[in-house]
């Protein structure tokens, strides 16, 4: 009986030593760097960075952060500022973009493309998207604590202007000047047609004037002849006496 008890104690000690050794070996194993710790934080993008298009933001095309420029894609690069020991690293970055005349979309780095880069100082994240989209909002999951993260720069698609073109109105073309209209030639004053004096026609009353003059002429001749005869007779008388 005593021998059996000693054997059981020895067996238990051996098993305990094995468990302690296995536990120590497990603790000595390094943690997987790709797995984030259990404690994480959610933060928003700096509100001064949105909304914006890639073409309107600071340009920097880096081979290790998405590369470019590309003919039909914009590269977006985010940065987690601050001390990496306290701010930690990006776990995911989720952005919301508006598509011209086609609503909005949400993309998450690295789930929907791009990558998280932690060997260039502070933690960074990048993604390539179709050209012309507008970033309107973004959030991030990080391993530490920070007030916000930033859109550090973009690499706009080639062929796009890096700054919005000025909206200047085209010059207005003045309508052609109409030649001065010449006044119609002045017509000389029209002289009134000469007025022909009209003959006054007196009313004719009674018999014709010619028929009344003949008897008067005869009487006159007769009176003259009578007077001449009387004068001649008187002179004869005076001569005889």
Condensed to tens digits (0 to 9), the pLDDT of residues 15-47 reads: 444 333 444 444 444 455 555 555 699 999 999
Which pTM was predicted? Answer: 0.54
Yes or no: say if 81 and 144 are a contact pair by the CB < 8 Å rule: no
Q: pLDDT for 121-167, tens place per residue?
A: 999 999 999 999 999 999 999 999 999 999 999 999 997 554 454 44
Burial zone of 170 (CB within 10 Å; 0-12 exposed, 13-18 middle, 19+ buried): exposed
Yes or no: say if 51 and 136 are a contact pair by the CB < 8 Å rule: yes
């Amino acid at each position: 009986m005593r021998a059996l008890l000693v054997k059981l104690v020895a067996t238990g000690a051996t098993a305990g030593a094995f468990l302690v050794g296995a536990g120590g070996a497990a603790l000595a194993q390094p943690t997987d760097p790709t797995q984030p710790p259990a404690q994480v934080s959610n933060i928003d993008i700096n509100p001064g960075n949105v909304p914006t298009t890639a073409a309107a933001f600071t340009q920097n095309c880096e081979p290790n952060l998405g590369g470019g420029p590309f003919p039909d894609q914009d590269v977006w690069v985010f940065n987690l500022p601050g001390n990496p020991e306290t701010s930690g690293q990006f776990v995911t970055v989720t952005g919301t973009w508006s598509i011209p005349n086609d609503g909005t979309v949400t993309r998450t780095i690295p789930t929907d493309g791009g990558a998280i880069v932690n060997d260039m100082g502070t933690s960074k994240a990048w993604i390539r998207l179709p050209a012309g989209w507008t970033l309107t909002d973004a959030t991030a999951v990080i391993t530490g604590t920070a007030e916000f993260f930033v859109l550090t720069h973009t690499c706009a698609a080639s062929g796009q202007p890096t700054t919005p073109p000025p909206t200047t109105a085209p010059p207005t073309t003045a309508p052609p000047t109409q030649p001065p209209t010449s006044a119609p030639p002045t017509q000389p004053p029209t002289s009134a047609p000469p007025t022909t004096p009209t003959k006054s026609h007196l009313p004719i009353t009674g018999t014709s004037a010619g028929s009344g003059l003949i008897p008067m002429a005869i009487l006159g001749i007769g009176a003259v002849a009578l007077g001449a005869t009387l004068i001649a007779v008187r002179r004869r008388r005076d001569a005889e006496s």
